[in-house]
Amino acid sequence: MSQAEAPTTVASAPTVAPWLTPLELTVLGAIWGASFLFMRVSAREFGALPLVEIRLALGALILLPMLWSGRAHFTRKHIGPLVLISAINSAIPFSLFAWAAQRAPAGIGAITNATAVMFTALVAFAFYGEHISKRRAIGLIGGFVGVVVLASGKTDGGSVWSAALAGTFAAFLYGIGGNLIRRKLAGIPSGAVAAGTLVCASILLAPFAIISWPREPIPMHSWVSAVLLGVLCTGVAYFIYFRLIYRVGAPRAATVTYLVPLFGVVWAWIVLGEPLTLSMAIAGALILGGVAMSQQRK
């Protein structure tokens, strides 16, 4: 699920210490950045689809209380949109990022993930007639130039274009999903939407995960990474994210987008020794700069 999906209203909440929100944003950025590390570690042994099924199922389990508390908001008219959104906003993009993690450094996926914010604005403009200012248009162009730079780069002599394109397409699906959620699931608590999409996506993906389940024994470190990916980077992270939305609103909570690529690259460097290449640095600067411009309003 992308960070651009949530409602923009802020509910009345108790006053908290001024340092708490920056701390939670930093922790959330660190957790979501680590998700690309965990995928890089475990995707090779599990394969993309089994790993994503574990992630979805564990994340859904953590968020079940949110789904239960918001169950009264779901009606029959929401079933079709919920199934569609679960596929294009969770099952498919998660699988694409896991597939990319098998073929390229973790930082590649973390950087391309940031383009979800830009794709959300672009889809809203192309299909729903929302206005894009000149400044936001320049930001979108700059961000997509960054994707081209990233796809043209190499790591350890190997091309990363396929992983970069897979991550970018996953972000594009996030952009579609974010717009559909605003229009098709409006009025449903965002926590219940997140839980519902994870539950539905895990059901949709289960047959494919079972068919492709690895036949060789899976090392313990891969199991640990898969569990952390589902429990920490999906269930716990979404819980923190929706706490932030409730307290400070979606626009401010979405600033975590700028931290995820940074932590993704740092974790991969510390734990796996993966380098930050020149093309990754240039692409990251262009993409994050484009995201910053595309989010600015008059």
pLDDT at residue 2, rounded to an integer: 55
| Burial (0-12, 13-18, 19+ Cβ within 10 Å), 81 | middle
pLDDT tier, 37 (very low <50, low <70, confident <90, very high otherwise): very high
Does a structural domain hold residue 1? no
pLDDT at residue 112, rounded to an integer: 92
Residues 195, 63: Cα–Cα separation, whole Å: 5
Does a structural domain hold residue 15? no
Q: How does the average pLDDT of the chain come out, rounded? A: 87
pLDDT at residue 156, rounded to an integer: 59
Q: Which carries the bigger pLDDT value, residue 229 or residue 73?
A: 229
Give mean pLDDT, residues 44-53.
96
| Burial (0-12, 13-18, 19+ Cβ within 10 Å), 15 | exposed
Does a structural domain hold residue 75? yes
Q: Which carries the bigger pLDDT value, residue 147 or residue 40?
A: 40
Range in 62-66, 149-153, 214-218 the model is least confident about: 149-153
Check whether 272 has a pLDDT greater than 80: yes
Range in 30-39, 51-60, 62-71, 120-129 the model is least confident about: 120-129
Does a structural domain hold residue 10? no
Reported for 277-280, long-range contacts at CB under 8 A and 24+ positions apart, including other chains, are 277/153, 277/154, 277/155, 278/153, 279/149, 279/150, 279/152, 279/153, 279/154, 280/105, 280/107, 280/108, 280/111, 280/150, 280/153
Q: Which carries the bigger pLDDT value, residue 59 or residue 135?
A: 59
Range in 51-55, 137-141, 196-200 the model is least confident about: 137-141
- The boundaries of the domain holding residue 153 are 20-295
Does a structural domain hold residue 284? yes
Q: Are 270 and 98 in contact (CB under 8 A)?
A: no
pLDDT at residue 4, rounded to an integer: 45
Check whether 6 has a pLDDT greater than 70: no
Q: Are 75 and 196 in contact (CB under 8 A)?
A: no
Give mean pLDDT, residues 228-243.
91
Residue 6: DSSP 8-state: S
Give mean pLDDT, residues 6-27.
68
Total number of domains in the chain:
1
Q: What is the CA radius of gyration of the chain?
A: 18
Residues 189, 289: Cα–Cα separation, whole Å: 31
Strands 154-155 and 158-159 come out as: antiparallel
The label of the residue with tokens 């699906």 reads 173
Check whether 10 has a pLDDT greater than 50: no
Residue-wise pLDDT for 140-192, tens only, equals: 888 889 888 887 877 655 678 899 999 999 999 998 988 888 888 888 888 89
- In the chain, the amino acid numbered 218 is I
Does a structural domain hold residue 149? yes
- Helix (H, G, I), strand (E, B), or coil: what is residue 158? strand
Does a structural domain hold residue 115? yes
Range in 32-36, 91-95, 141-145, 242-246 the model is least confident about: 242-246
Does a structural domain hold residue 37? yes
Check whether 56 has a pLDDT greater than 70: yes
Residue-wise pLDDT for 108-126, tens only, equals: 999 999 888 888 888 888 8
